[in-house]
Structure formats: C-alpha cells, structure tokens
C-alpha cells in the first residue's frame, strides 16, 4: 500500500512540474532600426558605475562616446557607446534599438 501511495505521489508531482519552453535563437525579433543624423559626438560624462557597465571607465584608453542623434522623425536621442568610434557629426546612421541601443553608419534606407 505504501508503494502505491508513493507511486501516486510521484505521478502527481510529475504532473505539477512543467517546463517553460525557451524561444529558439532564431525566433528573437530583429532590432528596430531607425535612421538619423549625428548632431554631436563627445566623450561620455557619466557616473563611473555607468561607464564601468559599458566596459570603460574615466581615463581609460578607449573612453565611451556619447552621440546626440536627430532621428528622421525629429526626435533627438542620446546613445552612449563604449570605446572609440569613427562616427562623426553630420554622418547618417542607423540606430539599432533592442536590448542595447547601438549606432552604425547608414548603409541603405
């Protein structure tokens, strides 16, 4: 009788356990891409903890760069990127918005 109760207990316990399926890597939506123009590029000025999270720190060889970008819809945003960048004011860029916002030179629209 004890064995039967134990077996029933395991069946009930097994029925309660459920796995939440993880989305496949190819099912992650692509980043939202918006185009704009760089207005300002300057060394980022932020709290050391923020720059450390970006992988840089004040006085580092490759300081973070803050870009002020006017999107094509007129909205002005700030994007901080770690390390040096070859992007310059006046340059057209793609603003890739996802888990992390990043900039890249505009290649096509």
Residue 17 lies in a domain: no
Residue 63 pLDDT: 78
Which among 2-16, 19-33, 95-109 has the top mean pLDDT? 95-109
47 burial type by CB count under 10 A (0-12 exposed, 13-18 middle, 19+ buried): exposed
Residue 47 lies in a domain: yes
Q: For 57-107, write each residue's pLDDT tens digit.
A: 555 556 789 999 999 999 999 999 887 778 999 999 999 988 888 999 998
pTM given for the model? 0.59
Q: Span 32-56, mean pLDDT?
A: 75
Residue 45 pLDDT: 74
End-to-end CA distance of the chain: 73
- The CATH number of residue 41's host domain is 2.40.50
Residue 76 lies in a domain: yes
Residue 54 lies in a domain: yes
């Amino acid at each position: 009788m004890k064995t039967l109760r134990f077996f029933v207990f395991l069946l009930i316990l097994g029925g309660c356990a459920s796995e939440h399926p993880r989305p496949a890597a190819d099912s992650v939506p692509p980043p939202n891409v918006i185009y704009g123009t760089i207005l300002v590029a300057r060394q980022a000025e932020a709290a050391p903890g923020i720059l450390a999270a970006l992988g840089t720190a004040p006085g580092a060889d490759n300081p973070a760069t803050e870009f002020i970008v006017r999107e094509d819809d007129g909205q002005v945003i700030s994007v901080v990127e770690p390390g040096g960048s070859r992007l310059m004011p006046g340059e057209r860029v793609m603003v890739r918005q996802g888990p992390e916002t990043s900039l890249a030179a505009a290649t096509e629209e």
